Amino acid sequence: MEFFCYHRDRPGSLALREELGEEHWSYMDRYAKELIARGPTFADDGETLTGSVHIVDLPDPAAARAFAFDEPNYQAGAYRDVLLRRWRNMLGRTMWDFPGGRSGGNRYLVLGLGEGPAADSALPSDRDDLVAYGPLLSDDGDTWLGTAVLLRAPDPETARAVLTAERYADIEVHDWEFGGRR
């Protein structure tokens, strides 16, 4: 089962995250084979960390909750909240398989949160800039709760346009970059 996990930073937690850097990396190393995508998000200035995205394939919701809440930064209080949802990998690949590579162009996390009938359940016709794409689902996988996309785009407005705006209660766009040990 695939899960989308977004840890949102608590304001002022950068020093704590830096202090726990190696613990975070060691923890994530344990999940290297299960990770579909990962990486930090940033404020509009492109430098201030705002969160950490992990898309991971795990056996069940309990394993996903353990992954999200046993993470060292979470345990130490660096995150203000965690969005954890079932997810479906509509591209069928990992970020490491993205033909656009690790760098070049602006990268974004687009989160559309909604309810009711599923929106954007078909892949966009232009897939060249999609790093990861899929619906956010309830634990049982039956209820659509939104859509999460990682993509390359020239600007936040173009990134936002990948989702049908009127179908979501809220759409968030965050600067994002490929994560993992360098």
For the beta carbon of residue 88, count every other beta carbon within 10 angstroms: 19
Two tokens, residue 36: 């579909």
| C-alpha span between 114 and 167 (Å, rounded) | 7
pLDDT at 135 over 90: yes
| C-alpha span between 65 and 85 (Å, rounded) | 10
pLDDT in tens, 11-43: 999 999 999 999 999 999 999 999 999 999 999
pLDDT value of residue 27 = 97
**From residue 106, how far is each of 50, 73, 138, 149 by CA, in Å?**
16, 26, 30, 14
pLDDT value of residue 93 = 96
pLDDT in tens, 59-90: 999 999 999 999 999 999 999 999 999 999 99
pLDDT at 168 over 90: yes
Judged by DSSP in three states, 56 sits in strand
pLDDT band at 182 (very low <50, low <70, confident <90, very high): low
pLDDT band at 103 (very low <50, low <70, confident <90, very high): confident
Average pLDDT over residues 145-166: 97
For the beta carbon of residue 2, count every other beta carbon within 10 angstroms: 19
pLDDT value of residue 75 = 97
